[in-house]
Amino acid sequence: MYISRLYIYMFPRAYITQNWQHIHHLGLSRNTTRLPCLDRMAGKQNDLAEALVRSGLRAELMPQHVALVLDGNRRWAQARGFTTPEGHEAGGVALRKIVELSCAFGIRAVTVFGFSQENFRRPQASSHSSIRSMISVLTEEVDYIMELIERLIRDNMDLFMREEIQVHVVGDPSRRPASLQDAAREAEEMTRSHSRYHLILAICYSGRWDIVQACRELATKVQDKLLRPDDIDESMLAGHLATNVLGDQLGCPDLLIRTSGELRLSNFLLWQSAYSELYFTDTLWPDFGEDEYIKALKAFQSRERRFGQRKVM
Amino acid sequence: MATPLSYPSSDPHMFPICSRDNWLSLTVSMEGFLTSCSPSVNPKIEKPEDMVKTGVLARFQNFLRKCLIAVISYGPMPNHIAFIMDGNRRYAKCRSIQQGAGHRVGFFAVVANLLYCYEMGVKYMTVYAFSIDNFKRDPKEVQSLMQLMEEKINEVLEKQSVIDKLNCKVNFWGNLELLREPARLAAQKLMASTAGNTGPVLSVCIPYNSTSEIVNAVSEVCAERREMLQGERDGDCNGQAANSGVHPEISVADLDRHMYSAGCPDPDIVIRTSGETRLSNFLLWQTTFSHLQNPDTLWPDFSFRHLVWAVLQYQRAYPHLEQNRNLAKKQL
CATH label of the domain that carries residue B214:
3.40.1180.10
Mean predicted confidence (pLDDT) in B234-249:
56
Does residue A118 belong to the interface with chain B, where contact is any CB pair within 8 Å? Answer: yes
What is the structure's pLDDT at B217?
92
Tell me, which fold does domain A7-206+250-260+272-301 have in CATH?
Undecaprenyl pyrophosphate synthetase (3.40.1180)
Please tell me what DSSP assigns to residue A106. T
Q: Which residues of A touch B137 (CB under 8 A)?
A: 309-311
Does this model's pTM top 0.80?
A: no
* Residues forming beta bridges with residue A280, ordered by sequence position: A258
What is the structure's pLDDT at A121?
52
Share of chain A above pLDDT 70, in %: 74
What is the structure's pLDDT at A10?
59
Is the Cα dihedral A111, B282, B300, B142 positive or negative? negative
Is the Cα dihedral B208, A275, B266, A203 positive or negative? negative
User: Mean of the per-residue pLDDT values for chain A?
Assistant: 78
- Residue B61: inside a domain, yes or no? no
What ipTM score was computed for the predicted complex, to two decimals?
A: 0.75
Cβ–Cβ gap A233/B285 under 8 Å = no
- Residue B33: inside a domain, yes or no? no
Q: Please report, as a single letter, which amino acid is at residue B199.
A: G
Per-residue model confidence as pLDDT tens digits over A287-303: 998 899 999 999 998 88
Rounded CA-CA distance A47/A44 in Å is 5
Pick B221's closest partner by Cβ from A118, A215, A277.
Answer: A215
Q: Which residues of A touch B130 (CB under 8 A)?
A: 312
Rounded CA-CA distance A77/A47 in Å is 34
Rounded CA-CA distance B113/B55 in Å is 22
Cβ–Cβ gap B250/A313 under 8 Å = no
What is the structure's pLDDT at B35?
34
What pLDDT band is residue B21 in, cutting at 50, 70 and 90? very low
Residue of B nearest to A221 (CA): B222
Q: Which domain does B172 fall in, by range?
A: 78-232+251-331
What is the structure's pLDDT at A65?
92
Please tell me what DSSP assigns to residue B45. S
Residue of A nearest to B136 (CA): A309
Cβ–Cβ gap B278/A266 under 8 Å = no
Cβ–Cβ gap B214/A266 under 8 Å = no
What's the number of domains chain B is made of?
1
Which helix (H) or strand (E) segment is A301 a member of?
Answer: helix A290-301
- Residue B317: inside a domain, yes or no? yes
Please tell me the distance in Å from A48's CA to the nearest CA on chain B: 28
Cβ–Cβ gap B292/A264 under 8 Å = yes
CB A146 within 8 A of CB A92: no
- For residue B225, give every residue at least 6 positions away whose Cβ sits within 8 Å of its Cβ, in sequence order, or none: A219, A222, A223, B247, B250
Strands (E) located in A2-78:
65-69
What is the structure's pLDDT at A11?
56
- Name the residue among A89, A76, A121 with its Cα closest to residue A261: A76
User: Mean of the per-residue pLDDT values for chain B?
Assistant: 79
CB A308 within 8 A of CB B134: yes
Mean pLDDT is lowest, of A52-66, B14-28, B248-262, for B14-28
Share of chain B above pLDDT 90, in %: 33
Report whether pLDDT(B10) > 80: no
Mean predicted confidence (pLDDT) in A198-212:
89
A·B CB contacts under 8 A: 157
What is the structure's pLDDT at A147?
87
What is the structure's pLDDT at A73?
86
What is the structure's pLDDT at A23?
39
Does residue A253 belong to the interface with chain B, where contact is any CB pair within 8 Å? Answer: no
Where do the structural domains in chain A lie, given as residue ranges?
7-206+250-260+272-301
Best residue in A215, A243, A303 for a mutation probing chain B (most B CBs within 10 Å): A215
Residue of B nearest to A299 (CA): B277
Query: Pick the residue with more confidence: A275 or B55?
Result: A275
- Residue B138: inside a domain, yes or no? yes
CB A262 within 8 A of CB A71: yes
Mean predicted confidence (pLDDT) in A156-183:
88
Catalytic residues of B: 86
Using alpha carbons only, give the angle A132, A137, A139 rounded to the nearest 5 degrees. Answer: 95
Report whether pLDDT(A136) > 80: no
